Structure 1
Amino acid sequence: MRILVTGASGFIGGRFARFALEQGLDVRINGRRAEAVAHLVKRGAQFIPGDLSNAEVARRLCQGVDIVVHCAGAAGTWGRYQAFYQGNVVLTENIVEGCLKEHVRRLVYLSSPALYGDGKGLLEVSEAQLPRHFHNACAATRHVAEQKVFGAGEFGLEVVALRPSPVVGAGDMRLFPAWIEQQNKGRLAIIGNGLNSVDFTSMSNLNEALLAALFVDTPALGQAYNISNGQPVPLWDAINYVMRQLQLPQATRYRSARAAYALAALNEAGCLAWPGRPTPRATRAAVKYASRDFTLDISRARQHLDYRPKVSLWSGLDEFCTWWRGA
């Protein structure tokens, strides 16, 4: 079986491509940075460079492939809508078109739980609990991209979408590194009471979920699946665990959620008015995540993908810390 993994120069795409190679699969990869995939090429992956925003490039990547695992996309909560539309919708449209024209059998799309919104605290969110309106460009464009994927199912393409909670492990350059940077600058503070529960997904568990999606039978196709470790934890316990492991000061200061939200709103307004719209030091979405409950119901993945998370959050964080110290 030959698979194509897009976004292989990123954290999740790169980790899954390596895992797929270890499983004996024939792996083709695409990514923005050739130097970031050199280790995969050494392990036997076929690297084909090219910009997925070009439909012909996407089609060429799909030639002779049985399954596409589409991990490329735009993440985050800050930026122009057009940039998210390009990174999520246009790239996915091109991959879907390439799959259909080249008779690829299956497309596995790495989506996001950002679709569920960033409003009030949410516990055990099911795949059907999508809001009426999406509050940021990432969520809105991820939803459109998912619709493009599921629409292709009507033309015979087998499709599956995974929505993993924030992923931890060696190679993460977004989640915990941001908190580490804040602490190094003396800016990290516990937002709210510090007791809000959240879900994480250890990268090893996501690898197993993605692998399962390659082989599931017909009843499991055409659906989205929440993925997590299945064991919610207080967010600030996880953050302080990493601080201890890296011998950094723990977060002990508290900040009112309301005050932090107001400050983030001012920060965003200033960045919007500034030429080039620089990234704010704090965003309202980040404040909400840092202070509110957000967990996923993974019963559908357990039932249809036979998903059984085996690696705990703490093991995933240990993996991250070991890697971070050596990075």
Structure 2
Amino acid sequence: MRILVTGASGFIGGRFARFALEQGLEVRINGRRAEAVEALVARGAEFVQGDLSDLALVQRLCQGVDMVVHCAGAVGVWGSYDYFHQANVTVTEHVVEACLRQGVRRLVHLSSPSVYFDGKSHVGLREEQVPRKFVDHYGATKYLAEQKVFGAAERGLEVVALRPRFVTGAGDTSIFPRMVEMHRKGRLWIVGNGLNKVDFTSIHNLNDALFSCLTAGGEALGRVYNISNGAPVPLWDVVNYVLRRFGLAPVGRHLPFGLAYGLATLNEGICRLLPGRPEPALFRLGVAVMARDFSLDISRARQYLDYEPRVSLWTAVDEFCDWWQARQAG
């Protein structure tokens, strides 16, 4: 089987491409940074560099490919709607169209649980519990991209989508590095009482789920799936564990939710008025993420993908810490 993995210069796409190579698949990869995929090329991946906004490039990428795992896209909470729409919706439209034109059999689309975010606490969210109104451009465009993917099923393309929550492991440059940097600058506070429980996902477990999407059939197709480790944990226990691994003092200072939310609102407002609209240091959505319970119901993935988390969160966190420390030392 030959597959294409988009976004392979990023964390999730890169780790899945390596996993697919280890399973004996022929893997073509795409990304913007050649230096980020050198190890994958050395393992036998075929690298085609380029921007997925170029429809002609996407058509070439999909030639001779059996299945596509689409991991590319913009991530974040700050930026214009046009920016997120281009990176998450238009690019996905290009991938869908290329799959249909080039006879690709299946498209596996990496979405996000950000489609659920509304600033409130949620426990055991099911896939159909999408809010009527999205609180940010990222969540809105990721959901719209999903709809483009599932619309292609009516044209004969086999499609599956995953919404993995807080993915971590070696290669994660997003979740914990940002918090560690904030802590070193003295800007990390526990928002609220610090007891909120959230889901994480080991990159190994996500790789298993993605691979299952390549091999599953029948009723598993045409669905979107929540993916996590299936065991919510107190967010701040995890953060403080990582800080201790790095020899840093744990976070002990608390900031009331209302005060933090008000400061974030003010910060965002000021940044919108400044030239260039710089990214705020504090977001309302970020405050909610740090203070609210947030977990997913993964029973659908268990039923249709035979998904069962096999790598614990703490193993994934230790893997991240070992990798990050080696990277800093190098």
- State the TM-score, normalizing by the size of structure 2: 0.98
Identity of aligned residues (%): 62
Q: Which moved more, 1:74-83 or 1:152-161?
A: 74-83
Structure 1 residues 228-277: Cα deviation after superposition (integer angstroms, max 9, x where no partner): 00010000001001011111111010111110010011111111111111
Could you say what secondary structure the match of 2:180 adopts? helix
AA of the residue aligned to 2:144: V
SS in 2 for 1:209: helix
- TM superposition shift of 1:143: 0.9
Q: Which amino acid aligns with 2:36?
A: A
Structure 1 runs of 4+ aligned residues shifted over 4 Å read none
Residues in 2 aligned to 1:93 and 1:215: alpha-carbon distance in whole angstroms: 24
Residues 212 and 305 in structure 2, CA contact (< 8 A), matched pair in contact too: yes
Q: How many correspondences in the alignment?
A: 327
Find out whether 1:232 has 2:232 as its counterpart: yes
The aligned residue for residue 208 of structure 2 is 208
- Matched with 2:76 is 76
Alignment partner of 1:49 is 2:49: yes
Partner of 1:303: 303
Q: Distance in 2 between matches of 1:59 and 1:279?
A: 35
Distance 2:265 2:171 in 1: 31
Q: How does 1:98-117 map to 2 (within 5 A)?
A: 98-117=98-117
Matched residue, 1:125: 125
- State how far apart, in whole Å, the 2-side matches of 1:300 and 1:240 are: 32
Q: Is the 8 A contact 1:230 1:309 kept in 2?
A: yes
**Contact 2:190 / 2:236 at 8 angstroms: preserved in 1?**
yes
Structure-1 separation of matches of 2:314 and 2:197: 15
Unaligned ranges ≥5, structure 1: none
Distance 1:278 1:2 in 2: 42
1:117–1:134 Cα contact (<8 Å) kept: yes
User: Where do residues 1-327 of structure 1 align in structure 2 (5 Å cutoff)?
Assistant: 1-327=1-327
Query: CA offsets, 1:173-208, max 9 Å, x none?
Result: 111111000111111110000000100001000000
SS in 1 for 2:49: coil
Give distance in 1, aligned partners of 2:120 and 2:7: 32
| Cα deviation, residue 155, structure 1 | 0.5
More displaced 10-residue stretch of structure 1: 316-325 or 267-276:
267-276
1:119: how far off? 2.0
1:109-145 CA-to-partner distances (Å, cap 9, x unmatched) read 0000000123210000000001111111001101110
Conserved? CA contact 2:32–2:51, under 8 Å: yes
CA RMSD, Structure 1 to Structure 2 (Å): 0.6
Query: Does the CA-based 8 Å contact 1:41-1:47 persist in structure 2?
Result: yes
SS of 1:287's partner is helix
Other structure's SS at 1:326 match: helix
Contact conserved, 2:119 with 2:289, CA < 8 A, in 1?
A: no
| Residues 191, 254 of structure 2: 8 Å contact kept | yes
- 1:106 to partner: Cα distance: 0.1
Measure, in 2, the Cα distance between the counterparts of 1:277 and 1:175: 23
Whether the 8 Å contact between 1:183 and 1:249 is mirrored in structure 2 is: no
The CA deviation at 1:50 is 1.4
The answer on whether the counterparts of 2:118 and 2:131 sit within 8 Å (CA) in structure 1 is no
**How many angstroms does 1:23 deviate by?**
0.6
CA distance in 2, matches of 1:106, 1:76: 28
Query: Structure 2: which amino acid aligns with 1:217?
Result: G
Q: Runs of 5+ in structure 2 lacking a partner?
A: none
Instruction: Provide the rounded CA distance (Å) in 1 between the counterparts of 2:14 and 2:294.
Output: 27
| 2:260 aligned counterpart, secondary structure | helix
Contact 2:271 2:279 in 1 (8 A): yes
Question: Matched residues in 2 for 1:324 and 1:249: separation?
Answer: 18
Cα pair 1:235 1:290 within 8 Å, conserved: yes
Partners of 2:308 and 2:151 lie apart in 1 by: 29
